Amino acid sequence: MKILLANNVFYPYQRGGAEAVVASLAEAWSRAGHEVRLVALCPQQSQPNKDDLVYQKIYWSSGYYDLASKPIWRRFLWHLPDRLGLAHLFDWYKLLKSFKPDLVVINNLTGLGFAAHRLCQWFNIASVQIFHDVQYVLPSGLLLVGQEKILNNWSVRCYRRLTAWWLSPAKLLISPSEWLRDFYKDNKWLPSANWLTLANPIDNQLALDYQLPNKLRQAVFVGQLTEAKGIGWLAEQWSDFNRTLLSIGLPEVDLKIIGDGPLLNRLKNNSRLDRRIAVVGRIDKDKIIEQMKEADIIIVPSNCYENWPTVLLESASAGRLAIVVDHGGAGELAEKLSYLTFRAGDLDSFLMAWQQLSAAAAKLNVWPAGSDLNIITPNQYLSEIMNKLDVMLK
């Protein structure tokens, strides 16, 4: 079968949860005998290196990667062709006409041109949309806790009508979490479309239980260093957190921060002021797993609504327990993995979860892992898609 995968960003230009999912799908489907091509954006004037992959990568030059540094009015003008379906319209037309895929699987669409699904419909090609965030309801794709009223803004309502029109030809809409699926439906975004709740595929086995040290002394944060991910708040609270631990007879804890982003320099300054904070920066995935295995606990303090955080699955694969915010898809996945949760931005709530974990660590060697998560491989993921499409087309 000929399959076209699409995601607006990809290696080596950006590495995140969605990119990891896309790379996993492309690799596995190619090795299973399918002819796979992957289309993504690359920075302007860049020359992508050729690599020995089993699938072909196609890059379209774009200013998307520099967008965050532009003033608001420049960003607005840049997005106009995208939202109006003009961005890369001819690129899509040429690719679909020449490659003639049997299936098109689109992930993050911003920057690639919103006309993709309508062009697939024109060529009578089945297209599938995988959702990773709220970007088709909220233009920024980022919804912060406490700012939910923005969804009632008239411009946001107009925007979601526009995106719903562009994406309505998709044969199947896939959401890893029930929360994200319900978010779109609650906002009346294609509520009668064919939705499929399907967890992101992984190749690794999850641990049957999580190792617990006698005392918790080493915590790790992994992710983008932004305010939305909650790491700014966590670093600012860390000295107060440790003082409280000492006051109740618990040992101080070191916080290791892994990742890159706009808060990097600020967090490095936090580390100079607090000897219990260490900023590692950006490292390879294999080294991230090593750091997780050396840690006592993983912390996910996101202040935004996330869909299906890859870091939680990586933590579970490493056999490590996590303390996670209780909202959105992160809270849903944390419950399935039997992780502890707390209210975002609430130090008292975080301390309660920590005390619960510390009490368990003093008595137990392991913490039982959750059993409510249906783990599937990339090839099983494709089978689920094709089975659903076959049922719909009969």
124-181 tens-digit pLDDT = 999 999 999 999 999 989 999 999 999 999 999 999 999 999 999 999 999 999 999 9
- Tell me what the mean pLDDT of segment 54-63 comes to: 92
| Paired strand residues for 60 | 41
CB 206 within 8 A of CB 317: yes
Q: What is the pLDDT of residue 285?
A: 83
| Cβ(141)–Cβ(52) below 8 Å | no
Does 2-201+376-393 match 209-368 in CATH topology? yes
Q: How far is CA 315 from the centre of its chain?
A: 14
Non-local (6+) Cβ contacts of 128 within 8 A are: 103, 104, 105, 106, 170, 171, 172, 173, 174, 385, 389
Average pLDDT over residues 329-358: 96
**Domain spans in the chain, listed from the N-terminal domain onward:** 2-201+376-393, 209-368
Instruction: Enter the pTM of the model.
Output: 0.91
- Cβ atoms < 10 Å from Cβ of 125: 19
Least confident among 31-35, 211-215, 243-247 = 211-215
Which pairing describes strands 209-211 and 366-368: parallel, antiparallel, or unpaired? Answer: antiparallel
Is 259:221 a contact under the CB 8 Å cutoff?
A: yes
User: Looking at the domain covering 2-201+376-393, what would its CATH class be?
Assistant: alpha beta
> Is 5 in a helix, a strand, or coil?
strand
Q: What is the pLDDT of residues 266-286, one digit of tens each?
A: 999 999 999 999 999 999 888
Q: What pLDDT, on the 0 to 100 scale, is given for residue 119?
A: 97
Q: What angle is formed at CA 328 by the lines to CA 324 and CA 334, rounded to 5 degrees?
A: 35
pLDDT tens digits for range 11-49: 888 767 788 899 999 999 999 999 999 999 999 877 666
**What confidence score (pLDDT) does residue 13 get?**
81
CA 33, 37, 38, 43 torsion: positive or negative? Answer: positive
Spatial CB neighbours of 188, under 8 Å, sequence gap ≥ 6: none
Is the CB of residue 187 less than 8 Å from the CB of residue 160? yes
Task: Kindly write down the DSSP assignment for every residue of 248-291, as one continuous string.
Answer: TT----EEEEE--STTHHHHHHHHHH-TTEEEEE---HHHHHHH
Contacts of 12 (CB under 8 A, 6+ apart): 48, 49
**Cβ neighbours, 10 Å, residue 381:** 23
Interior CA angle at 18 toward 311 and 56, to 5°? 130
Longest C-alpha distance within the chain, in Å? 68
Q: Tell me which residue has tokens 């399959």.
A: 3
Specify whether the CB–CB gap between 4 and 123 falls below 8 A: no
- Give residue 101's pLDDT: 97
The strand pairing partners of 322, in sequence order, are 298
CATH topology of domain 209-368: Rossmann fold (3.40.50)
Half-sphere CA count of 277, side-chain side, radius 13 A:
25
User: For a pLDDT cut of 70, what percent of the chain falls above it?
Assistant: 98
Q: What length does the chain have?
A: 394
Residues 6 or more apart whose CB falls under 8 angstroms from that of 360 comprise 212, 367
**What is the per-residue pLDDT for 202?**
83
261, exposed or middle or buried, with CB in 10 Å at 0-12, 13-18, 19+?
Answer: middle
Residue type (1 letter), 151: L
Work out the pLDDT band at 54, boundaries 50, 70, 90.
Answer: confident
